[in-house]
Structure 1
Amino acid sequence: MSKKSVLVIGGGAAGMMAAIFAAENGAAVTLLEPNERLGKKLNITGKGRCNVTNNAPMEELLQNTPRNGKFLYSAFSHFDGLDAMAFFERLGVPLKTERGNRVFPVSDRSFDISAALERRLKSLHVRLVRDRAVRLCTDGEAVTGAQGEQQVYPAQAVILATGGVSYPATGSTGEGHRMAASVGHTITPLQGSLVPLREQGNTCAAMQGLSLRNVTLTAFENDKKVFRELGELVFTHFGVSGPLALSASAHMRRFDKKRYHLEIDLKPGLDEAQLDRRLLSDFEKYCNHDFCNALNDLLPQKMIPQMVAASGIDPHCKVNAVTREQRKELIRLFKHWPIPIAGLRPVTDAIITSGGVKVSEVNPTTMESKVVKGLYFAGEILDVDAYTGGFNLQIAWATGRAAGIAASSGEN
């Protein structure tokens, strides 16, 4: 009996995973990828270290997927972070777990992950073709293959795993969304997620390059709290970046109708009463100094002029003349440093794409299209996205596996 033919379009994380599981399940698999190297975007994730997954229970994986997380319940229940770790260790890549349950190769080399996947593809005799798909072929009800720039590739099942529109230099140019739309799928609006944030004004620009660790960032939509987390961020010439800002951006999607702002708790380990005592202690130490020279023990140097200006206290006022009300305002700024947000940086600066193939049109168990028989989706092309910390790659592995197994099953 001949093997079922499966065409996987896209050689990124999700596409390679789909091809491996389809081949392991007995299919004859062709993997279409225009780039010279597979896993081009995978190789730059985690600053080149590759945050492979997150070693967290399934409930936590779902909680860290703010965009359509429920859709992933089946995929994650069959393949969670522990399964992903076992998979890569079986492929010969030793892994380690770091802060926040983030999982990396022991070598800190993302190429070890992509190389392991390539070796597995080769051992399973997956046919790799350097070509770009331009159109899906259908008979009206079912997919029959795809048209490439070089030739037509007939197949009994097609898995679209072309990624989103972030990092276009890696090949994620949105052609998968266009192909899906051409056969009747709805594409929800595409924008950057896990993307740096642009401030209103130039307060952050004045602190460009300053990195804050162990601060708590809270994001507000209008006046409703939508995100809060302890971690690290960095001030830039345009606003804020770093892990906290990127995660907060996942909750900022409606700049046309909503207003957004951030608040930084610069001293999350101290409540207001404790911070007041600390300030009084420092003020006593610097009692004969100008106010602008009395915050060196509490703040990084680059932030002091901004804090002094925001407080409204005369920089050259002697510390022993600062009033109780002025000190109260200073404490408020330490606990609620405000940053009004004007918008997101361009999608080309984003780590991932928010938006994509509407998940209500996809079977969450098999990743098969409900619109066209034999068409499957995996990875960032779907309208799902998560926070930083290995969660988005876990989506790629889990949906790729589900699509690969389902596409290779059934009748030839």
Structure 2
Amino acid sequence: MAADQVVVIGGGPAGMMAAGTAGERGRSVLLVEKNKRLGRKLLITGKGRCNLTNITDIEGMIANIPVNGKFLYSAFHRFTNQDVIAFFAGWGLPTKVERGGRVFPASDRSLDVLRAFEKFLAHARVRIMTGVAVAVLVEEGRVCGVKLASGEFLPAGRVIIATGGCSYPQTGSTGDGYRLAAALGHTITPLKPALVPLEAATPWVREVQGLSLRNVAIRVLTTEGKTIYTDFGEMLFTHFGVSGPIVLSASTHLAPNTKYRLVIDLKPALTAEQLDLRLQRDFAKYARRVFHNALDDLLPRALIPVIVTLAGIPPDKPVNQITRAERERLGALLKGLEVEIVGLRPLTEAIVTAGGVSVKEINPATMESKLVKGLYFAGEVIDVNAYTGGFNLQIAFSTGYLAGSNC
């Protein structure tokens, strides 16, 4: 192995893209992965379907990256979402676009994404070895190699750290890259879970676990009443609280071990006045029914007992006897169903890790360290993270491509 070789640490999406890109430029590349197989976390992304990217424009990409999004302008310009789609098509993997501009493999199989990468790496003559990097070695301000836990030394003129974050540690994401970078003098922005479910203290939430709500609007408020996040889309009730795409995105803005109010608008397409008219029509339609049997057109079945209880209207009260005040109280509840949030789920359950290697110490045009010559970063190890919708994988692909193109 030559001293001028490139060693890529981490065989996830960013590492594979970086290694293959460098290999196609004629570099001698060694990809070091701690697992016996590449892409373990990639295989579980998007519930096994792998949301590769999003078809929005670059400004739309940046808008979906609440932490250090502007740092990624160069990366996104050099390797766009269309480049991602073309890349996979070139390796025999067609894609499709779904709701919200999300791009998936046409097969709905993340395994096919990994196989496309394996073809790419083989074509680029990237050598792959299993090992755990414990140190990046430096001489006179420049990397000179990588030391493995086995004691083996890998000479290298350039090293790319693409080890991922701390989320889903069972896939091998155990924060190795942060330790490697910190040992070389890099600042590690404090780590916290991002895109993580929320824990709730509201008792009725557990009664509806498994219920998914679509096309709802949410607001997250502090205990003082300040709105800190709003969104529209799909959410899910669980045994511990709430999850789903809009909840995961909201979590990026929340602090651990802090209480919040989650307000759910079950009928965001209707104003309060329009909803009241809708209730009047439904009650006229079911005039001979009692209250708890008159909401089937309005709500998911699992949620009806909860709404009936919270509305404070006797469940067996005939619909034609419900007063205007009771109807308006019901309408206000449907427009503002509240859940008490008491914290984030652990970092180990997060889809991605917030925090990481400070972007102030990385050249955004090349992904090279500003502190150590020949050291590059790619993917989740960098202090950038995005909402759901394909944006985090786009970050991995774009930063991996940029690192591989410049090393």
After TM superposition, the score normalised by the length of structure 2 is: 0.95
**Structure 1 match to 2:160:** 159
**Structure 2 match to 1:391:** 391
Structure-1 separation of matches of 2:339 and 2:184: 43
Structure-1 separation of matches of 2:287 and 2:106: 51
Q: 2:245 aligns with which of 236, 243, 251?
A: 243
- Displacement of 1:283 after TM fit? 2.0
- Displacement of 1:373 after TM fit? 1.7
Structure-2 separation of matches of 1:188 and 1:173: 16
**Structure 1 match to 2:234:** 232
The amino acid across from 1:96 in the alignment is K
Return 101-110 or 158-167, whichever deviates more.
101-110
Matches within 5 A, 1:200-219: 200-219=201-220
Structure-2 separation of matches of 1:4 and 1:140: 16
Structure-1 separation of matches of 2:229 and 2:80: 24
Conserved 8 A contact 2:213-2:236? yes
- Displacement of 1:398 after TM fit? 0.3
- Displacement of 1:47 after TM fit? 1.4
Give me the CA root mean square deviation: 1.7
Return 105-114 or 307-316, whichever deviates more.
307-316
Structure-1 separation of matches of 2:117 and 2:289: 62
- Displacement of 1:306 after TM fit? 1.1
**Structure 2 match to 1:410:** none
**Structure 2 match to 1:99:** 99
**Structure 1 match to 2:188:** 187
Q: Which whole-Å deviations, capped at 9, do the CAs of 1:177-225 have from their partners, x for residues lacking one?
A: 1111111111112122111111122221111111111212222345333
The amino acid across from 1:238 in the alignment is F
- Displacement of 1:312 after TM fit? 2.2
- Displacement of 1:3 after TM fit? 9.0
Structure-1 separation of matches of 2:372 and 2:334: 55
Conserved 8 A contact 2:3-2:157? no
Q: Which whole-Å deviations, capped at 9, do the CAs of 1:29-78 have from their partners, x for residues lacking one?
A: 11101211111111111111111111121111111111111111111111
SS of 2:303's equivalent? helix
Structure-1 separation of matches of 2:177 and 2:256: 26
Structure-2 separation of matches of 1:204 and 1:95: 37
Structure-2 separation of matches of 1:111 and 1:3: 34
**Structure 2 match to 1:34:** 34
- Displacement of 1:102 after TM fit? 1.1
Matches within 5 A, 1:70-219: 70-139=70-139, 141-150=141-150, 151-219=152-220
Structure-2 separation of matches of 1:21 and 1:180: 22
Q: Which whole-Å deviations, capped at 9, do the CAs of 1:302-341 have from their partners, x for residues lacking one?
A: 1112112222223333333333222222111111111121
- Displacement of 1:140 after TM fit? 5.1
Conserved 8 A contact 1:136-1:146? yes
Structure-2 separation of matches of 1:255 and 1:159: 31
The amino acid across from 2:10 in the alignment is G
Conserved 8 A contact 1:4-1:26? no
Q: Which whole-Å deviations, capped at 9, do the CAs of 1:249-302 have from their partners, x for residues lacking one?
A: 1221x245x642222111122211111011112222333433222222211121
Conserved 8 A contact 1:7-1:32? yes
**Structure 1 match to 2:353:** 353
- Displacement of 1:369 after TM fit? 1.2
SS of 2:144's equivalent? strand
Conserved 8 A contact 2:3-2:155? no
- Displacement of 1:380 after TM fit? 0.5
Structure-1 separation of matches of 2:387 and 2:65: 6
After TM superposition, the score normalised by the length of structure 1 is: 0.94
Q: In 2 relative to 1, CA 376–221 (structure 1 residues): closer, same or farther, beyond 3 Å?
A: farther
The amino acid across from 2:108 in the alignment is D
**Structure 1 match to 2:343:** 343
The amino acid across from 1:387 in the alignment is Y
**Structure 1 match to 2:270:** 270
Conserved 8 A contact 2:199-2:345? yes
Structure-2 separation of matches of 1:221 and 1:30: 48
Conserved 8 A contact 2:259-2:343? no
Structure-2 separation of matches of 1:343 and 1:17: 35
**Structure 2 match to 1:12:** 12
Residue correspondences, number: 404
Structure-1 separation of matches of 2:405 and 2:309: 60
Structure-1 separation of matches of 2:229 and 2:82: 27
- Displacement of 1:6 after TM fit? 1.0
5+ residue gaps, structure 1, are: 408-412
5+ residue gaps, structure 2, are: none
Matches within 5 A, 1:286-301: 286-301=286-301
SS of 1:75's equivalent? helix
The amino acid across from 2:229 in the alignment is F
Structure-2 separation of matches of 1:224 and 1:362: 35
Q: In 2 relative to 1, CA 112–255 (structure 1 residues): closer, same or farther, beyond 3 Å?
A: closer
1:21 paired to 2:21: yes
Q: Which whole-Å deviations, capped at 9, do the CAs of 1:95-130 have from their partners, x for residues lacking one?
A: 111111111111111111111111121122111111
The amino acid across from 2:296 in the alignment is N
Conserved 8 A contact 2:94-2:105? yes
